[in-house]
Amino acid sequence: MQTLTLNNSIKMPLLGLGTYTLTGSAGQKAMCEAIEVGYRLFDSAQMYHNESELGAAINNAIKAGIKREEFFIQTKLLGANSEDSTKKSIEKSLQSLGLDYIDSLLIHEPYTQSKTMYKAMESFYKQGILKSIGISNFSTKAYKEFIQTCEIIPAINQCETHLLMQQKPLREAMKAKGTLLQSWSPFIAGKNMAGKNMGGGSILENPTLKSIASKYDKTPAQVVLRFLIKQGISVIPKTSKKTRMIENFNVFDFSLSAEDREILSALDTNKSSFSWTNY
Ligand SMILES: NC(=O)c1ccc[n+]([C@@H]2O[C@H](COP(=O)([O-])OP(=O)(O)OC[C@H]3O[C@@H](n4cnc5c(N)ncnc54)[C@H](OP(=O)(O)O)[C@@H]3O)[C@@H](O)[C@H]2O)c1
């Protein structure tokens, strides 16, 4: 698996598994299957109620001989009101995961108390309990404002990123400080895009995307992931199906031509496909 080097010099796999909705025994089974396929980066969140399933899957794999250092475990904090409650919240995630360190901890969205929360994260980072810290769903404006008060610049900003929302201005703004864009919902969560001039169905039904995919004998999903990865964007597609885990993982054996990348780049509308975001 190819890796990216974060702005604090630690390495992270470029591609991982998103785990939203992977809960309970079925969720844990899917995580175990992803480990078998070769996934080492996993994205969880307190909000997903699956940190304990992820921790169990990882700890089983460690017992079976995979080294802890091979994994890159990421989770995200819900809002907290004080530094103290944030510290307790981080401890709770460590306990749920059954791990003594977390590779990446993000603030799930720009909460009112994000700066206070981040202070607690910085403190755990300095102790080595968090190997990297970052944010999620911070717009260009929110990011620029947030970094004014950070002692440790966020390593990652995880945001909605796909063909229709390529986050070009945000990427430009984060370049100077080396904050990495991680894409959530690279397939727009399978949403039906009917009415968006996309040919109906999900983004994976988009005719332009389909015709490019057929040229390379790849699936539309593989082309989307390859397109994002090529630009240094980390991707965490979610699937509960092993066949799709394999499909989404196998995107390192082909390259898109500059011409095809331009065609895909032109699909960008710089508009969110989700009503709750605030980019
Ligand atoms: N920070 C945030 O606020 C935030 C928000 C949203 C998501 N996230 C993170 O990002 C991850 C990914 O986003 P997401 O789960 O919203 O959506 P996504 O990865 O864009 O899409 C998932 C959907 O696509 C389907 N799918 C997966 N692989 C496929 C393939 N090869 N071909 C066709 N369909 C495929 C899945 O169905 P099956 O499962 O049936 O295969 C599921 O319906 C989440 O799981 C979560 O970890 C973070």
List the chain domain ranges. 3-265
Give the distance (Å) from ligand 1 centre to CA of residue 236.
8
19 ligand 1 Cβ < 6 A: yes
Q: Is any atom of ligand 1 closer than 6 Å to the C-beta of 46?
A: no
Q: Which amino acid, 237?
A: P
Do 71 and 58 meet the contact criterion of CB atoms below 8 Å apart? yes
**Can you list the positions of beta strands (E) in the chain?**
3-5, 11-13, 16-18, 41-43, 72-77, 104-107, 133-136, 156-160, 180-184, 234-235
Protein residue with least CA distance to atom 39, ligand 1: 239
48 is catalytic: yes
Ligand 1 pocket, mutate which of 184, 223, 242, 276 (most atoms under 8 A from CB): 184
Which protein residue has the closest C-alpha to ligand 1 atom 26? 239
Which atom of ligand 1 is found nearest the CA of 22? 45
Q: How far is the CA of 186 from the centre of ligand 1 (A)?
A: 7
pLDDT of 279 reads: 85
Task: Give the class (CATH, top level) of 3-265.
Answer: alpha beta
* CA 108 – CA 111 distance, rounded (Å): 8
Question: Given the DSSP bridges, would you call strands 72-77 and 11-13 parallel, antiparallel or unpaired?
Answer: unpaired
Q: Which two tokens stand for residue 30?
A: 């899917």
Average pLDDT over residues 9-26: 98
Residue 269 has pLDDT above 60, yes or no: yes
pLDDT digits (tens, 9 = 90+) for 75-118: 999 999 999 999 999 999 999 999 999 999 999 999 999 999 99
Any ligand 1 atom below 6 A from CB of 136: yes
Examine the pLDDT at 201 and tell me if it is beyond 90.
no
Please indicate whether residue 137, judged by its CB atom, sits closer than 6 Å to ligand 1.
yes
| pLDDT band of 165, cuts 50, 70, 90 | very high
Q: Please, are residues 44 and 67 in contact by the beta-carbon 8 Å criterion?
A: no
- Contact criterion met (CB below 8 Å) for 256 and 223: yes
How many angstroms is it from 187 CA to the middle of ligand 1? 6
Query: What residue numbers does the annotated binding site for substrate cover?
Result: 108
pLDDT at 261 over 90: yes
Would the pLDDT of 74 be above 90? yes
pLDDT score recorded for residue 71: 98
Average pLDDT over residues 157-165: 98
